[in-house]
């Protein structure tokens, strides 16, 4: 019988998102590829410390504990094969033996391998790779490696928080806001309150998490998924967001309509294993409190005209 990843939640992740390779990366960024490879070779038997997305990966893989392989994590990295050996050894050392697949491209674009993997999430510290993955239609985020790492107070819950516009939903409403300001945005969303928003780049991930939750509950798994919408929207623009989720037949556990308040402290109380947002300011605020990733797509991330 052929091996397949069909029906699984497939997460593709770079080595820097999974482990703390910041010291090694500084050597690489100085332009000395050979020194980088040699450093990784010297540290083959030294497990790398967990990185920003480690907690998310570890908890998702716990859905496989009952024997059913529902989650697949694949390392998808610009690293060379020698560095890849250290990644796998680090996985084993930190109790992630189920991370068994990896693609190491030695500097070439890795995102093209998302298609054969059928990935529902790509996490990388490389902004160009994230942009290309989003352009190809895959949920992707640039991991802020300076983020605070997740705590261990919720060992049996995978907690994930999402921004709304340009993340779960399309950037349709954000385009109205960018063009006409808050009043135009509020009027637009009030007029279209009964009309669901088009899908955003992370809708496929949310749907996959919903399926994983249902399958885990049916099998008696102790693991659970808790999701939250954390958005700058406020009433009356909240209604369209809620109606959109209802039309998808997907329920989020929490929704925070913050009306422009900084998101970081609210996220600190939710304690997510990861937070996704398209606005750089919100991501930077969040990273002071929780693991965070920038969804580098949508109108908010387009180059702005000079003087804008």
Q: Are 89 and 47 in contact (CB under 8 A)?
A: yes
Question: Residue 306 pLDDT > 90, yes or no?
Answer: no
DSSP per position, 125-145: S-HHHHHHHHHTT--EEEE-T
Q: What is the DSSP letter of 169?
A: B
Residues in the chain, overall count: 308
CATH entry, 157-301, from 1.20.1740.10, 3.40.50.2020, 3.40.50.1100, 3.40.50.1000: 3.40.50.1000
Structure-model confidence comparison of residues 32 and 23, the more confident one: 23
Average pLDDT (140-147) is: 97
Q: Where are the domains of the chain?
A: 9-143, 157-301
Question: Residue 304 pLDDT > 70, yes or no?
Answer: no
* 206-240 residue pLDDT tens: 999 999 999 888 888 889 999 999 999 999 999 99
- pLDDT score for 28: 82
Q: Which helix (H) or strand (E) holds 284?
A: helix 280-287
Shared fold status for 9-143 and 157-301: yes
Q: Rounded to an integer, what distance in angstroms lies between the CA atom of residue 63 and that of residue 66?
A: 7
Question: Residue 31 pLDDT > 80, yes or no?
Answer: no
Handedness of CA 71, 77, 79, 81 (dihedral sign): positive
* 0.85 surpassed by pTM: yes
Q: How confident is the model at residue 193 (pLDDT cuts 50, 70, 90)?
A: very high
Question: Residue 101 pLDDT > 70, yes or no?
Answer: yes
Question: Residue 305 pLDDT > 60, yes or no?
Answer: no
Count of C-beta atoms within a 10 Å radius of residue 286: 32
Residue 246: CB partners within 8 Å, gap ≥ 6? Answer: none
Average pLDDT (30-44) is: 86
Characterise 18 by phi-psi region: left (phi > 0), alpha (psi -120 to 50), beta (else): alpha
Q: Which of 34-38, 109-113, 197-201, 268-272 has the lowest mean pLDDT?
A: 34-38
Count of C-beta atoms within a 10 Å radius of residue 73: 27
Query: Pairing between strand 292-294 and 140-143?
Result: antiparallel
Q: Are 53 and 274 in contact (CB under 8 A)?
A: yes
Q: How confident is the model at residue 261 (pLDDT cuts 50, 70, 90)?
A: very high
Question: Residue 307 pLDDT > 70, yes or no?
Answer: no
Q: What is the DSSP letter of 250?
A: -
Q: Rounded to an integer, what distance in angstroms lies between the CA atom of residue 159 and that of residue 273?
A: 5
Average pLDDT (142-154) is: 94
- pLDDT score for 280: 94
CATH entry, 9-143, from 3.40.50.720, 3.40.50.300, 3.40.50.620, 3.40.50.1000: 3.40.50.1000
Question: Residue 94 pLDDT > 90, yes or no?
Answer: yes
Question: Residue 152 pLDDT > 70, yes or no?
Answer: yes
Q: Which of 17-26, 30-39, 210-219 has the lowest mean pLDDT?
A: 30-39
Q: Are 209 and 9 in contact (CB under 8 A)?
A: yes
Q: Are 273 and 51 in contact (CB under 8 A)?
A: no
Query: Pairing between strand 121-124 and 71-77?
Result: unpaired
Residues facing 142 on adjacent strands: 124, 294
Q: Rounded to an integer, what distance in angstroms lies between the CA atom of residue 24 and that of residue 36?
A: 6
> CA angle, corner 118, sides to 126 and 241, nearest 5?
75
* Average confidence score pLDDT of the chain: 92
* 108-139 residue pLDDT tens: 999 999 999 999 999 999 999 999 999 999 99
Among this protein's residues, is 273 annotated catalytic? Answer: no
Helix (H, G, I), strand (E, B) or coil at 22: helix
Q: How confident is the model at residue 25 (pLDDT cuts 50, 70, 90)?
A: confident
Q: Are 15 and 103 in contact (CB under 8 A)?
A: no
DSSP per position, 74-124: EEEESS-HHHHHHHHHHHHHTT-TT--EEEE-TTS--GGGHHHHT-SEEEE
Catalytic residue among 129, 163, 273, 296: 163
Q: Rounded to an integer, what distance in angstroms lies between the CA atom of residue 100 and that of residue 91?
A: 9
* 174-190 residue pLDDT tens: 999 888 998 899 999 99
């Amino acid at each position: 019988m052929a091996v397949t990843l069909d029906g699984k939640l497939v997460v593709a992740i770079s080595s820097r998102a999974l482990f703390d390779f910041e010291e090694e990366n500084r050597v690489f960024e100085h332009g000395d590829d050979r020194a980088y490879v040699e450093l990784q070779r010297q540290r083959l038997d030294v497990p790398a410390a967990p990185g920003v997305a480690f907690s998310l990966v570890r908890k998702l893989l716990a859905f496989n504990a009952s024997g059913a392989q529902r989650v697949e994590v694949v390392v998808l990295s610009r690293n060379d094969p020698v560095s890849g050996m250290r990644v796998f050894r680090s996985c084993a050392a930190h109790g992630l033996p189920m991370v068994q697949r990896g693609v190491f491209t030695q500097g070439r674009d890795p995102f093209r391998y998302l298609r054969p993997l059928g990935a529902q999430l790509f996490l990388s510290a490389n902004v160009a790779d994230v942009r290309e993955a989003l352009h190809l239609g895959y949920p992707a985020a640039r991991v802020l490696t300076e983020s605070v790492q997740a705590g261990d107070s919720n060992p049996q819950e995978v907690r994930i928080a999402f921004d709304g516009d340009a993340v779960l939903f399309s950037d349709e409403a954000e385009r109205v806001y960018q063009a006409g300001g808050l009043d135009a945005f509020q009027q637009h969303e009030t007029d279209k309150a009964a009309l669901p928003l088009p899908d955003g780049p992370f809708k496929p991930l949310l749907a996959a998490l919903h399926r994983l939750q249902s399958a885990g509950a049916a099998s008696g798994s102790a693991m659970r998924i808790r999701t939250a919408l954390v958005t700058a929207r406020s009433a009356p623009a909240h209604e369209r967001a809620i109606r959109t989720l209802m039309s998808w037949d997907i329920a989020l556990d929490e929704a925070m309509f913050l009306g422009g308040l900084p998101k970081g402290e609210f996220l600190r109380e939710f304690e997510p294993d990861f937070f996704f947002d398209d606005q750089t300011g919100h991501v930077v605020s969040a990273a002071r409190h929780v693991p965070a990733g920038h969804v580098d797509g949508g109108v908010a991330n387009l180059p702005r005209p000079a003087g804008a």
